Amino acid sequence: MAVVLYLSDLETLSWLAGAGSFATAVPSLTIAVLLARTPPPRDPTPGQRTGFSDFAGPAVFELTTFAIRLRDRAFAALQGAAKGVAMLWCLVGLMILVGKSEQFTAGEGLKSTLLLALLIMVGLSVAEAIEAADGRDVLVVDTGGLTVVDKRHCRLDRDNLLPRNQSFSIRWDELESIRLVADPEGGAHSLIVTFEDFDHGVKRASKHNFPERGGSGSYVVGRLLLGTAVEERTALLTPLRTALTRYGRGKLQG
């Protein structure tokens, strides 16, 4: 695409930053949609129940939904694009200061600048979208303990940049107590556990990136996100408490 600009250097560079932001908005949203896609939920296997049930088998609860994952990843992707725009403006300012802006606004230099801006913004959008989900999507409560299942298709371990399934299980005998607490800022209810052995809890938290809550070895192992369907999602709290009471061996508090 040939672009002919009859503007000053500063106006030209401003146009580059604006065009790069617009060019990245649509790809960012597309990337977020693709990353958030998950297969349609399957019916529980025999013996499993969801929602209000008699808990003849494991109780299964969706901690997140497709709509929530899509929203979070789309927002994160746009944040990544915004960071790319900020980086581009920093580059613009630097080139103006050193008087080298002409090398980036004419001929092959212009093409290289546009390509670099696009790569930066798309790359940051993808990274932010992947990082937006923690993989704690489904909670299973049964006689053995708690299991949190990672439903993500795109997984990335922030430490070694390799795919990693974040699913995990915690036995009841590992725990001292369990609490289900509304987040102070709203929008979710957190499942908070305290381990019987403090050092063991520290190791589990380090391995699975459990956020600490309230000190004393208490950690958030899952969050029931409410999204926009607040009433429908809040209705899951009653069967969740019932399941934790039935299977939790008296460890549920509050």
Mention every residue, 6+ apart, whose C-beta is less than 8 A from residue 66.
36, 37, 38
Q: At what angle do helices 66-98 and 9-36 cross, to 10 degrees?
A: 160
Q: What is the pTM of this model?
A: 0.64
Greater pLDDT, 107 or 214: 214
Residue 84 has a pLDDT of 79
Greater pLDDT, 48 or 72: 72
- Give the dihedral of Cα atoms 63, 65, 71, 73; nearest 10 deg: 70
For the record, the structure tokens of 111 come out as 């093409």
Q: How far apart are CA 96 and CA 105, in angstroms?
A: 12
Greater pLDDT, 13 or 199: 199
Greater pLDDT, 121 or 213: 213
Residue 100 binned pLDDT confidence (cut-offs 50, 70, 90):
low
Q: How far is CA 60 from CA 26, 37, 137, 160, 242, in A?
A: 36, 20, 11, 31, 12
Residue percentage of the chain with pLDDT more than 70: 63
Lowest-pLDDT choice from 59-63, 145-149, 168-172, 207-211: 207-211
For the record, the structure tokens of 177 come out as 């107590």
Q: How far is CA 121 from CA 45, 161, 201, 253, in A?
A: 43, 19, 39, 46
Residue 131 has a pLDDT of 67
> What are the residue ranges spanned by the domains of the chain?
9-49+61-131, 138-253
Query: 13, 95 in Cβ contact below 8 A?
Result: yes
Residue 3's CB is within 10 A of a number of other CB atoms, namely 12
Residue 46, CB-side half-sphere exposure with 13 Å CA sphere: 0
Alpha carbon 137 to its chain centroid, in Å, reads: 10
176: closest CA among 150, 148, 204? 204
Query: Mean pLDDT of all residues in the chain?
Result: 75
Taking domain 138-253, whether its CATH number is 2.30.29 is answered by yes
Greater pLDDT, 75 or 236: 236
Residue 236 has a pLDDT of 95
Residue 66 binned pLDDT confidence (cut-offs 50, 70, 90):
confident
Query: Residue range 188-213: average pLDDT?
Result: 94
Largest CA distance in the chain: 75
Residue 44 has a pLDDT of 42
Residue 235 binned pLDDT confidence (cut-offs 50, 70, 90):
very high
